[in-house]
Structure 1
Amino acid sequence: MNTILITGVTGNIGSHVLFELLFDLYSKKEKATIYVLIRKQSEAMAKDRLLNEVFTKQLIPNKILPFYKRYLKHIHVIEGEINDFLLPEAAGNNLIVYHLAASVNLSNTEKARNEIAHVNYANTQAFFENIKSRTKKLVFVSTAFSRGEIEGEITDDYHSVSNFEFRNFYEAYKMKVEKLILQIAKENNFSCTVARPSVVSGRLIDYPKFVSSRYIVFYAIGEFFKKIKKTNADIGKVRMALNMEGGLNIVPVDYVAKAIIRATDIQDEQLNITLTKNVPTQHIIKSILQKCEVEIELVDEEPKNKTIIEKLFYKTIGSQLLKYSTSKKHNFESKLIRELLSDIEEPNMQDNFNQVYNFAHDINFDNRNITLQTSL
């Protein structure tokens, strides 16, 4: 019987990893002891967060609804921070670890650098000091963008190159911690796979489709303009800067979770969880702004003489996402991930993008607004 430790389980990918793990155990008629590390918040104990943020009626996939409550007794909550927690002796010394806890701050401010350096690097280093001698397999969730800005085809092997052009501290520290963890794994003789999802969307495989526990990154563009429209009905034309030939690799969260669980059984050290085709950036921006009923003009670079609305956008959401919308044309090789998930049809994100975004828009980016009708 496996003993499993998951961090970041209250996050979008982490919650779906737990759902997928329960489904996998049920399907194979296997048992496991699952530890989830969750920090206490001022208004909620860790155990309450598991029930109130993960096992919510709006988020749970239909496929585990009939049986998941029977498995709750096998899930043990460890209350603590990733750099300060006590792993019970009963957990043993052959852990399968899924490490997902991280800050996703794409800003380039000094405050962002300090946050990323502390949370994503120093705390992760402390985490592995705690469990390194008790681990047999680690799946560390990084990001497909830890390669930084690059043109052309991107393979799974990031570590044999030295020319990195990072767009923010988040990317830079993800690469730094990838190398750190692989070194720790080598020194302590456990298997490690760095799994790198690209931009994550709501579900496209499991029902209810389109649901996510977080609506961030490209969703944030729509949320910004939807709010603006409520107080400024006539905001005029908005100039959106992007690479006219560029695209964004968007992968559904359930596809990511399935890959992370299967990565447990592979020896490969690097795995990009990406789709073989990017969604053209023009299609993304046009779809979102059309839904928001905002008139747009696509431009090659950030405008100089901005309107008030444009100033606000480029100072907030745009400051983080501009380097991605204007990034060089590229594509991910995606061979290894397709081999790993060969029995699962690859989702077509471009054909489904409108539905993926519109769902979040229609529930005002808040799962509490999901009804039976909107989730079917």
Structure 2
Amino acid sequence: MKNSPRNILLTGATGILGSHVLYELLIACLKGERRVKITLVVRSREKESARQRVIGVLSNPYRPTLLYSFTPEELFHFIDIIDAGLNELDDSHLARLKKAGRVHIIHSAAHTNLSVNPNVYDILYDDNYKGTLHLLQWASGVLEKFTFIGSAYSIGHRYGLIPDSYKQLTASGERAEISRRNWRNPYEELKTDAGYAVIRFCNQHNIKWQILRPSTICGRIMYQPLYYTPKFNVFYLFGKFFLRVAREDNRDELVRIVANPHSVLNVVPVDYIAKAITRVFDDDHIREMNLVYSNSLPVDYIVHHMIEYAGFKCEIVDTTPENQNILEKMYYKVVGPQFTEYINTPWHAYDTTVLRSIMKDVPEVNMHSIFPELYGYAVSHQFGEALTVAHISE
């Protein structure tokens, strides 16, 4: 049995990744591999209580089949709920948490928005940065360790091999100035800032810390039903855009996309990331780690596949085309500002030596070979709109 903390507080349990971390923890409890109490921070909504939202996750018809034999009430044996948003946590909530003793927080909750609109900064600052700081300060008296789920893309534009460690600190422990850290949007910048805030706070208060950074999340590849994810976002939305604008009278029209044909996009299944988190979060030797696949998908392949799937022709170009047709004007106005910065990056790869040593019994699938099925699943389920699931958002 693993030497894991008995009390875990998980944020983001109704989200894309957090729900699968919850599934992994529950499966480990049911198998007797862990003996933990899981506290979830979940906020009630106008028409749905926090408990109802969690029940929705536990009874989701697309939950891993390993959980089919258990009712939500049986699974609540391992779960307690704090009904609050991150910035709403107060002394009354802390009193409940203190009864459990020392706690290890896995902070997965985040508002994901890759927009470059300056107005997005304030929203992300409140939710992702201030929410993280408030959570740390609120729990500091009982906090044993803080595992922060960051983003592999908080490194910004980078060429070559990317290591697990991103942090750069001065001798006194302060954040060092980082040259050429070219963030693509406020989301990446604030994920970086929040990570440094975690390090600084935990070092000052003698709290163990850990930063785990997933790359682009896609549907499941280990747990049935395969290819499911609670929300089809990020790269899925690129294909969704072209399917939505496709009509009989614009079939076979050419779309010129600014991208680096030699670059890649690291796509990793949500259940693989969740399993990795539950294997490394109580390993104090691991401070930073990218949760990624060893091999990435060629940008050229992804772009061509999704555009041609919608019935258009595609050409990769170096610069934004002039004399744009209607489709191109729509693309560069609506989704181009977000996607161009991710498909026009320098070639890069991630060092997965440590991660693969931990996940050596979990083989990586060939993402290139399964991509048509992975993407086809999203299309056939209308990118989640046809799924009968709880209201899951991150």
For residues 79-106 of structure 1, what are the alpha-carbon distances to aligned partners after superposition, in whole Å with 9 as ceiling and x for unaligned? 1110112231454331121101111111
The equivalent residue for 1:130 is 138
CA distance in 2, matches of 1:138, 1:300: 43
The equivalent residue for 1:194 is 211
The equivalent residue for 1:374 is none
Contact 2:124 2:187 in 1 (8 A): yes
Superposed, 1:203-242 pairs within 5 Å as 203-230=220-247, 233-234=250-251, 236-242=253-259
Contact 1:34 1:74 in 2 (8 A): yes
Report the alpha carbon displacement of residue 31 of structure 1 after superposing the two structures with TM.
3.1
Q: 1:44 to 1:235 in 2, by over 3 A?
A: farther
1:144 to 129, 136, 152: 152
The code of the aligned residue for 2:223 comes to D
The equivalent residue for 1:257 is 274
Q: Secondary structure at the match of 2:370?
A: helix
Q: Identify which range, 287-296 or 317-326, moves more after superposition.
A: 287-296
Contact 2:251 2:311 in 1 (8 A): no
CA distance in 1, matches of 2:41, 2:248: 41
TM-score, length-normalised on structure 1? 0.93
Superposed, 1:301-320 pairs within 5 Å as 301-320=319-338
CA distance in 1, matches of 2:107, 2:261: 36
Report the alpha carbon displacement of residue 244 of structure 1 after superposing the two structures with TM.
0.9
1:97 to 105, 109, 115: 105
For residues 288-312 of structure 1, what are the alpha-carbon distances to aligned partners after superposition, in whole Å with 9 as ceiling and x for unaligned? 1232222212212322322222122
The code of the aligned residue for 2:58 comes to F
The equivalent residue for 1:37 is 41
Report the alpha carbon displacement of residue 11 of structure 1 after superposing the two structures with TM.
0.9
The equivalent residue for 2:193 is 176
Contact 2:59 2:71 in 1 (8 A): no
CA distance in 2, matches of 1:318, 1:213: 24
Contact 1:92 1:134 in 2 (8 A): no
Q: Secondary structure at the match of 1:265?
A: coil
Asked if residue 46 in structure 1 is aligned to residue 50 in structure 2, the reply is yes
CA distance in 1, matches of 2:250, 2:240: 15
Asked if residue 57 in structure 1 is aligned to residue 74 in structure 2, the reply is no
The equivalent residue for 2:171 is none
1:342 to 345, 360, 369: 360
CA distance in 2, matches of 1:283, 1:363: 22
CA distance in 1, matches of 2:382, 2:371: 17
CA distance in 1, matches of 2:337, 2:367: 25
Contact 1:244 1:300 in 2 (8 A): no
Q: Identify which range, 194-203 or 35-44, moves more after superposition.
A: 35-44
Report the alpha carbon displacement of residue 18 of structure 1 after superposing the two structures with TM.
0.3
Report the alpha carbon displacement of residue 120 of structure 1 after superposing the two structures with TM.
1.1
1:360 to 365, 374, 378: 378
CA distance in 2, matches of 1:61, 1:259: 16
TM-score, length-normalised on structure 2? 0.89
Aligned residues: 370
1:281 to 283, 293, 299: 299
CA distance in 2, matches of 1:232, 1:36: 50
Structure 2 unmatched runs, 5+: 169-175, 390-394
The equivalent residue for 1:116 is 124
Report the aligned-residue RMSD. Answer: 1.9
Q: Which runs of 4+ in 1 moved over 4 A?
A: 230-233
Report the alpha carbon displacement of residue 181 of structure 1 after superposing the two structures with TM.
0.3
Q: Secondary structure at the match of 1:244?
A: coil
Structure 1 unmatched runs, 5+: 372-376
